[in-house]
Amino acid sequence: MQTDSSFTFVLFGGTGDLSMRKILPALFEAHRAGGMLADSGKIVAVARHAADRAEYLQWVNEHVKPHVSKNGVDEAAWTSFLARIEFVKIDLGNPEDFAQLRDAVRDLPGIRVFYLATGPSLFVPICHALASVGLNENARIVLEKPLGYDLKSSNAINDAVGEIFAEEQIYRIDHYLGKEPVQNLLALRFGNALFEPLWRREWVESIQITIAEELGVEARGDFYDNTGALRDMVQNHLLQLLSIVAMEPPHSMDSDSVRDEKLRVLRALKPIDPNEIGKVAVRGQYHAGGIRGTPVPAYATEPGVKADSTTETFVALKVEIENWRWAGVPFFLRTGKRLADRVAEIVVNFRPVPHSALGVSALRAGANRLVIRLQPNETIRLYCLAKQPGEGMNLASVHLDLAFDQFFREGQMEAYQRLLLDVINGRLALFVRRDEQEAAWRWVEPILNEWMASHKPPKPYAAGTWGPAAASAMLAQHGTCWLEEEN
């Protein structure tokens, strides 16, 4: 496979929300930085909602520009970026139109990257159409989530795509794996003698992984009501973060070494007993409430959502890993919409010291803790106890802070920017391999099946809170609480 940096980046869904908010802004930032993209590289947008290139560039000016460069747009860089963009008007439902795409890219340079920023129902038809005009050679294809509705449908898509593209050509993207703190988690664990000896059951009491959103379903009511939080967030983002946190040291940082270790974690997840799901899994749905003083409606009244919907907008899980490193350590996973804050973080709670001559505060849970914040501010914070100034041995919690934007002068790379550069340069380590995806679906499915079979409605929670009380009760049974509850 070609490995030089020359490329032709073909963007299906070129007028879609993901292209406007994430993909094209990420490509612009790489272009603006200089040296990250080959000068000869081209972007070919594919859509049917623009008449020609001029109309498409006008669309890009209106819808992409607001999402790039927080400190303003460099007009010279923007103009030269637009010069990279070509446009092909295609009806994705008409395979004969793909001959136009073949003719448009035939003489363009380098590796071809096909990014499918479309609904998953179009993945297989697009792949077949690409193959019909010979565009599956010397190519890489990027698949956005969700990849299927369950294990069976996921396998059906993977089987069909795998008939046309080899596994090393397929990049299943999970943008959380491209975030800077996730990369630094690997550096923290495997580059520092301080942490690796402590990263095990003897020293870790519990681990929390949270992805919380203030937003509701927005304009995705139809999609979300047929998906839910377990499929939308747990099966991919949360289990991928869990595997990064819990994996063994890889032999090297090459793609298969890293993904082999992640797979071992996913295969070591303790299977969920359907009879125990009520004790280890909480599902909720937001009702009317308020976010920072602004009233918001209930999920069931959102556009595109059925009035009697039982789709979950919140999930909390207690997860165990059955291996020597983690046996007996609870991992608490949580995600939800319309929660009190927008935050994604990993919290590692170390065990208190076994005996303290300094008083009971040194024995309390959470006295020693590592908090890895993924959003909105990307930081790593290590909490420990120190003596307060003054008379007596009074202890207080203090922290050591690594704020990336303050420590490193160069700007941080956004997740999509890093991942798109990895695709162009043929680096697979941060993308999900098929066997990882299958292992995640296989673990999640018993929960899905039990929830569907039980016909029990999700537990209600008011928008603007941290979810159902049952999620807090689940942690209380283990003598702990969610981080924001302690604070």
Does the annotation list 145 as a binding residue? yes
How does DSSP assign 331-356, residue by residue?
EEEEEESSBSS-EEEEEEEEPPPS--
179 is in an annotated binding site: yes
Check the annotation: does 70 bind a ligand. no
CA–CA gap between residue 337 and residue 212 (Å, rounded): 6
248 labeled binding residue: no
**318 carries a ligand binding annotation:** no
DSSP letter at 15 equals T
Decide: residue 287, CB within 10 A, 0-12 exposed, 13-18 middle, 19+ buried. middle
| Interatomic CA distance for residues 245 and 185, integer angstroms | 8
Q: Is 65 annotated as a binding residue?
A: no
Relative to beta strand 281-287, strand 369-375 is unpaired
Rounded Cα distance, 159 and 144, in Å = 16
Find out whether 337 is annotated in a ligand binding site.
yes
- What is the DSSP secondary structure assignment for residue 4, as one 8-state letter? S
The single residue listed with the structure tokens 């319309």 is 338
Element (H, E) at 6: none
Q: For CA atoms 254, 256, 259, 265, give the dihedral sign.
A: negative
48 is in an annotated binding site: yes
Which SS3 state, helix, strand or coil, does residue 285 take?
Answer: strand
Contact 136, 402 (CB under 8 A): no
Q: Is 435 annotated as a binding residue?
A: no
The residues annotated as belonging to the active site are 237
List the binding residues for NADP(+): 48, 91-92, 145
List the binding residues for substrate: 175, 179, 213, 232, 337
List the binding residues: 48, 91-92, 145, 175, 179, 213, 232, 337
